Amino acid sequence: MEPAQKERTPFSDIDGLTAPMSEIVLTALTEMGRHPEIRRVRRTGFDALRPALGARLLDAGSGSGEMARKLAAEVGPRGEVIALDCSAAITAAAVGRHDNSNVRYVIGDVGDLDLPDGCVDGVWCERVLQHVDDAERAIGELCRVTRPGGRICLIDTDWDSLAFDGMPPRLWDSVWRYARGHFTPPERNMGRTLRRRLVAAGLSNLTATPVTCLFGSPESAAVVLPMVNPRVPVDSWQTPPALRDEWLACVAAAGARGDFLAVLTIWVVAGTV
């Protein structure tokens, strides 16, 4: 079966990237996990999922395995976390970072899980659905493998909420016309649709929390927002070189003045199967 993840952004097809770009993506995942605003999003997710001691959880789209290992610490030695990702390269990196917690790393497709019905007590799926071809199919699979009464926590970005201050609005409008077709996935508003999707899937006890991330410097923003990161290779921008240079110069100038600001909303939505 054709995988649900398709080549859209670098995060959609990591195994198809060049070695340097693959390393950039892995570094980005690591840096994002350390960012205070992403940690705030994840704390909200932990409160929504409520992982219990002894539980068996699925981290669907586990990346470098950081969250899987944190979830494993929550469920304890009698619990288990299945860390599933579509990338063989990222999964290998996750295995290399394993800390002897009760995590099992597997390669798989969130839209076609090779797991039996009702085999997990809960699911964590963070910033994955924006990259898949069929979100309903993926959510259906996450529901299928979760036992009745189990909890599913979905976290995703609302890229259409992205806003800046400190830069000329017309310049950002010009950059956004290119960035939204390359640096962001087609499902730019996935975050705000998660609650509706879980309602349609028949889940109950829904919670939906928008977490607005604030980035007060270009350096902070660059960890999460590729369009302000000068380390992103020039040939990845797909913009006229002069436009990229002008934009990054304005970003740097706003940072030097101290009036740079970027905001982005990430939604945390959970429900009971």
Contact assessment for residue 238 and residue 181, using Cβ atoms and an 8 Å cutoff:
yes
Q: How far apart are the first and last CA of the chain?
A: 26
For 84, the token pair is: 């599933």
Run of H or E residues at 107: strand 103-107
| Coil/strand/helix, residue 164 | strand
CB-based contacts of 72, cutoff 8 Å, min separation 6: 79, 80, 81, 101, 102, 103
| pLDDT, averaged in runs of 10, over the chain (273 residues) | 41 57 70 92 96 97 93 96 92 89 95 97 97 95 98 97 95 90 87 98 98 97 93 84 94 97 98 98
Run of H or E residues at 35: none
Residue whose tokens read 């006229």: 240
pLDDT reported for residue 83: 97
pLDDT reported for residue 1: 31
Task: Report all structural domains of the chain as residue ranges with CATH numbers, in order of start.
Answer: 14-272 (3.40.50.150)
Fill in the amino acid letter for 162: L
Its pTM stands at 0.89
For 17, the token pair is: 């990237």
Distance between CA 206 and CA 238 in Å, rounded? 40
pLDDT reported for residue 31: 84
